[in-house]
Amino acid sequence: MSTNGSLDLSHLTSLFEEYKGGGRTYLLPMLHDAQAIYGYLPESVLDAICHALQVPLADIHGVVEFYTMFYNQPVGKRIIRVCTDPSCAIAGGEDVLIRACQHAGGIHPGETSVDGSVTVERVTCLGLCDQAPGVLVDDLAFSEVDVEDTPHLFDLTASPSHLRVAGEPRVITRNIDVISATDLDAHRAAGTFSAFEKALKSMTPDAVIEEVKASGLVGRGGAAFPTGSKWQYTRAAGFDPKYVVCNADESEPGTFKDRVLMEGDPFRVLEGMMLAGYAIGAGKGYLFIRGEYPQAAKILQEAIDKLYAAGLLGLNILGSNFSFDIEIRRGAGAYICGEETALFEAIEGKRGFPRLKPPFPTTHGLFMKPTAINNVETLAVVPDIVTHGGAWLRQWGTKDSAGVKLFCVSGHVQNPGVVEVPFGTTVRALLENICGGFIGTPQAILMGGAAGGFLTPDQFGAPLTFEDLRVLGAPVGSGVIMVFNETVDLRDVLRRLAHFFAHESCGKCYPCQLGTQRQMEILDRAWEGHAQPGDFIALHDIGATMTEASICGLGQTAAAAVISALKIWPELVEEPSASNA
């Protein structure tokens, strides 16, 4: 790697040629590729990238330091990332982390072994919540890691992760583990891309949008905005170019359904993007995937390459006047990039700071052009809607919650995994009939993810719909169902969620930056048994301030689970003054 004692930069030549003329939008790919070559991103490499892309060096430093998976100092030849979010923690994640540090020579999390062979890191959510505890070793994911088997992570002989899918009917997930993920011929024989061909040959873009609107499909990433309306607004924007963006930055503790879709049926997701592009009049799509999903990114790129080879992507697809390209952008460890405008900034080669809204993405999105941005699961539903018509999806669910939904089940259940069921299925039916029942006596369920709300056992009969869960203060969100039995100290769960938000706050707005830090400090005290008078009220005041004054959804929902828990179990944050009264 070096010439006469200096770093050999000739290895960058091929990268510069590959990304020539792309400008700033290729910053993330180039940083990933350069780090893969050198192991980290030294100053001389960043300087060379600065000149190649014509991006100010200060801006490049800002991007590198923004993401946790980029390193500007040497790290171990192997990086072991151990998840300690709630699902992994209750399965022994902390013990695995400690054992990994011991095996690396007694280092602390975040440190590199003396011989430089390994760096061990504590991380939140690797999307392996159903196979906890999960560990990512470089680009390989390992599941259900036992503390005694932790040393095997160092020689890559631990158990690899796999896909777990259940439920009835299997609509969105029907091809997973049935057809090889990247076998294009087999997928086409099973009907994949027939919807896209139908749209090109016999439907106008407006007709596609009307079918999506008629289906009642809403965003499956948490916001639940009507998909057809979003596409209609984007198509109606009076200027071009337009873009489609697939938000695959699934990073919230408890979420993993999008990973399963991308690894198990990438063509379904890509077909959804292509239909969105046709509907809104876009010529290009970007799929932004979190950095902790290297296997999904690899599978998707292979699938995209095969679509180009088959003439299903590129110019004048299938002899039509429609041309469409798709590029992948990998994140590098920043939950905030799941916020749509922060994601745009990341694709543009900037730090992932959220933008003020309005204007909205439908008119001023990626590169400040009209953009339709949708979640992975949302796009995966679209091909069947186009094939069968909007009324098809409404055969399941309720008036206000149409269709089937993927739920991410983790924690104290016998058979965790991705579960596909119609909206309206009760929580208890899903857990007992499909997931094999509880492990131990259930204490609570966290619905909707880190920004969700809690259900108690007497509420497990609630139907899984937007309208029914809203009444209980427990959102559907991205479909998280995290189960805790009576052995779990919920104060520990709350403090881990608080640490997650404090770590992931981007710092752009003070209510979120300071509020998440203060929330974390209070919950740390409560967990340690050192709650102070006024902590209960302070948590509510902090939560209200973040909700009302934060710029984006991260800060606006960072206190949701905490406030939900305190409403049900106020004793979690003890008031010493009350106990002494």
Q: Which among 333, 300, 296, 331 is positioned nearest to 161, based on CA atoms?
A: 296
Helices marked H in 11-167: 13-18, 27-38, 43-53, 57-66, 86-89, 93-103
Contacts of 412 (CB under 8 A, 6+ apart): 90, 438, 439, 440, 442, 483, 484, 485, 488
**Phi and psi torsions of 364, nearest 5°:** -135, 80
- Residue 469 is given by DSSP the state H
Average pLDDT of the segment spanning 10-29: 92
Exposed (0-12), middle (13-18) or buried (19+): which is 458, by Cβ within 10 Å? exposed
Q: Are 282 and 230 in contact (CB under 8 A)?
A: no
- Percent pLDDT > 70 in the chain is 98
> Do strands 140-142 and 2-3 pair parallel, antiparallel, or not at all (unpaired)?
unpaired
Find tokens 């500007």 and name the residue. Answer: 72
Angle between helix 43-53 and helix 27-38 axes, rounded to 10 deg: 150
Q: Is the pLDDT of residue 4 over 70?
A: no
Q: Which among 296, 243, 41 is positioned nearest to 15, based on CA atoms?
A: 41
Q: Is the pLDDT of residue 1 over 80?
A: no
Cα–Cα–Cα angle for 229, 231, 233, rounded to 5 degrees: 70
Find tokens 């089940």 and name the residue. Answer: 409
Q: How many CB atoms lie within 10 A of CB 251?
A: 24
Contacts of 440 (CB under 8 A, 6+ apart): 412, 485, 486, 487
Taking the C-alpha atoms of residue 581 and residue 577, their distance in angstroms, rounded to an integer, is 6
CA distances from 186 to 181, 262, 265, 521 (A): 9, 17, 12, 53
160: cis peptide before it, omega within 30°?
no
Find tokens 């599941």 and name the residue. Answer: 143
pLDDT of residue 157: 87
Q: Which among 328, 324, 304 is positioned nearest to 314, based on CA atoms?
A: 324
Mean pLDDT, the chain, integer: 95
pLDDT of residue 240: 95
**Phi and psi torsions of 110, nearest 5°:** 95, -5
pLDDT of residue 222: 85
Q: Which among 521, 504, 566, 537 is positioned nearest to 337, based on CA atoms?
A: 504
pLDDT in tens, 124-172: 999 999 999 999 999 999 999 999 989 999 999 888 989 999 999 999 9
294: cis peptide before it, omega within 30°?
no
Identify the weakest region by mean pLDDT among 12-16, 116-120, 164-168, 576-580: 576-580
pLDDT in tens, 82-91: 999 999 999 9
pLDDT bucket at 223, cuts 50 / 70 / 90? confident
3-class DSSP assignment, residue 365: coil
In the chain, how long is the greatest CA-to-CA distance? 80
Taking the C-alpha atoms of residue 46 and residue 29, their distance in angstroms, rounded to an integer, is 13
- What are the b/e assignments for 164-185, b being 16+ CB within 10 Å? bbbbeeebbbbbbeebebbebe
Q: Is the dihedral of CA 350, 355, 358, 360 positive or negative?
A: positive
Task: Report which of residues 576 and 296 the model is more confident about.
Answer: 296
- Determine the straight-line distance between the first and last CA of the chain, rounded to whole angstroms: 69
pLDDT in tens, 409-452: 999 999 999 999 999 999 999 999 999 999 999 999 999 999 99
Q: Which among 497, 430, 460 is positioned nearest to 125, based on CA atoms?
A: 497
Polymer length of the chain: 581
Q: Which among 351, 354, 366, 355 is positioned nearest to 67, based on CA atoms?
A: 351
Taking the C-alpha atoms of residue 571 and residue 151, their distance in angstroms, rounded to an integer, is 40
pLDDT of residue 21: 84
Q: Is the pLDDT of residue 580 over 50?
A: no
Find tokens 């893969």 and name the residue. Answer: 36
* Tokens read off for 439: 């492990």
Average pLDDT of the segment spanning 287-295: 97
Checking 466-472 for CB contacts under 8 A at 24+ apart, the result is 466/218, 466/224, 466/400, 466/401, 466/423, 467/398, 467/400, 467/401
Give strand pairing partners of 285. Answer: 244, 326
Q: Are 217 and 378 in contact (CB under 8 A)?
A: yes
pLDDT of residue 575: 62
Average pLDDT of the segment spanning 547-560: 96
Average pLDDT of the segment spanning 195-201: 98
Contacts of 470 (CB under 8 A, 6+ apart): none
3-class DSSP assignment, residue 50: helix
- Residue 401 is given by DSSP the state S
Distance of CA 392 to the CA centre of its chain: 28
